[in-house]
């Protein structure tokens, strides 16, 4: 247990500064006068690149690497790209993932009371699972290392290692073991999603999954092909408990899953390794609504609740876990009471939602 935890806040682009600031307000409200978190803002992102030609200063990287946790708003502005055509803001998260070895991207998918799913006959309680995305390997490991030859050919390489697959699969089984099981039947299960019927890299992933699964006889293990899973997350979402998959597949599935619970505005994300953690909503920077007071802070607020849980487990600090539970309870109550942002079908603005959460925490 530490007396003070240093949180590196990187507001980023678009609505990033708004949702990051809202989340800091909520965190302060959750602790009152005895807040054990110390916040420091640091620059990075596409807007910084547009102004200075540098999107991720080394000073910001060192601050993030040395902090107890990193809170990120959002990154990227359409059209602001590096000379190779890649988005200027995305190198912040990608560099942290690979250099700090944030191998586990944990994306909870939950339908809240007060939110109507676009899926017919699906109600709150029917969707409550985790997509666990391997975060350091897969196809995205080729970022910056792929080859483009004479404008005629481009190659990116999909990388799977035994160490990388073993640790993400083991994390999946531990998450399932700590869970309440799938909504449909209460069974604690882990679903491995791959394309093992076509590609050797995914057959390798599946083989290692099966080896690790044998160590967890109390958890049901199953397989699903990526194309079928895109259907099953729509047709039978209550079957799932923890889904584990490769980097790119996890990226795609988590966006599809977010749509089933109302949208990206309710999709938190925790990217953790052995020693560091990055916490941000799964949504983008939405520059078209930046500064208009309509940004949805729920995804980032739920992400900082995950941040508190992660820190609490690492440092055996019950103050943080209690605050995380209070924040999630406040979010659920606020949504149920009708504090719903425009992207979720309501008319509540950022300030109203933030104040509503503060009121429920003080």
Strand (E) or helix (H) holding 255: helix 247-260
| Choice among 68, 128, 194, 251 that is catalytic | 251
CA 231/CA 224 separation, integer angstroms: 11
Closest-CA residue to 350 (of 306, 302, 291): 291
Burial of 271 (0-12, 13-18, 19+ CB in 10 A): buried
State the pairing for strand pair 153-155/147-149: antiparallel
Give catalytic status of residue 34 as yes or no.
Answer: no
23: which 2 tokens? 């989340």
| 110 touches 261 (CB < 8 A) | yes
Neighbours of 101 (CB within 10 A): 17
CB-based contact 10:71 (threshold 8 Å): yes
C-alpha dihedral sign at 166, 172, 177, 178? positive
Of 258, 233, 235, 231, nearest in space to 121 by CA = 235
CA 126 to each of CA 193, 241, 258: distance values in angstroms, whole numbers, following the listed order: 21, 11, 14
Closest to 304 (Cα-Cα) out of 12, 33, 16, 22: 22
Q: Is 185 among the residues known to form the active site?
A: no
Among 5, 140, 216, 298, the active-site one is 140
Known active-site residue 195:
yes
| Three-state helix/strand/coil letters over 93-117 | HHHHHHHCCCCEEEEEEECCCCCCC
Instruction: Show Cβ contacts of residue 323 under 8 Å, excluding neighbours closer than 6 positions.
Output: 27, 30, 31, 308
Catalytic annotation, pick one of 185, 210, 227, 347: 227
Q: Cβ of 166: how many Cβ atoms within 10 Å? A: 14
Mind telling me the catalytic residues? 140, 195, 227, 251, 255
């Amino acid at each position: 247990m530490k007396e003070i935890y240093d949180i590196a806040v990187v507001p980023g682009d678009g609505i990033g500064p708004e949702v990051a600031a809202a989340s800091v307000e909520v965190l302060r409200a959750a602790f009152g006068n005895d807040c054990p978190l110390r916040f420091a803002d640091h620059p990075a992102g596409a807007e910084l690149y547009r102004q200075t030609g540098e999107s991720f200063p080394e000073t910001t990287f060192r601050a993030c690497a040395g902090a107890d946790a990193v809170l990120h708003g959002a990154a990227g502005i359409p059209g602001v790209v590096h000379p190779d055509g890649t988005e200027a803001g995305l190198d912040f998260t990608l560099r942290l993932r690979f250099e700090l070895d944030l191998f586990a991207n944990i994306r909870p998918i939950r339908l809240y009371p007060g939110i109507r799913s676009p899926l017919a006959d699906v109600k709150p309680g029917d969707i409550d699972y985790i997509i666990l995305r391997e975060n350091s390997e897969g196809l995205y490991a080729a970022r910056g290392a792929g080859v483009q030859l004479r404008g005629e050919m481009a190659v990116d390489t999909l990388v799977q290692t035994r160490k990388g697959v073993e640790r993400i699969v083991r994390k999946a089984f531990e998450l399932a073991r700590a869970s309440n099981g799938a909504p449909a039947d209460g069974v604690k299960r882990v679903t491995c999603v791959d394309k093992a019927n076509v590609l050797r890299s995914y057959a390798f992933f599946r083989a290692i999954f099966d080896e690790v699964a044998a160590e967890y006889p109390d958890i049901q293990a199953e397989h699903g092909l990526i194309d079928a899973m895109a259907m099953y997350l729509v047709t039978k979402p209550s079957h799932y408990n923890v889904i584990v998959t490769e980097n790119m597949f996890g990226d795609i599935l988590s966006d599809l899953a977010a749509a089933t619970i109302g949208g990206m505005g309710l999709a938190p994300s925790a990217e953790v390794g052995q020693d560091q953690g990055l916490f941000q909503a799964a949504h983008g920077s939405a520059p078209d609504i930046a500064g208009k007071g309509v940004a949805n802070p729920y995804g980032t607020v739920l992400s900082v609740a995950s941040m508190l849980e992660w820190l609490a487990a690492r440092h055996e600090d019950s103050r943080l876990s209690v605050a995380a539970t209070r924040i999630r309870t406040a979010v659920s109550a606020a949504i149920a009471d009708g504090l719903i942002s425009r992207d979720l079908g309501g008319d509540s603005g950022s300030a109203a939602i933030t104040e509503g959460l503060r009121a429920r925490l003080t």
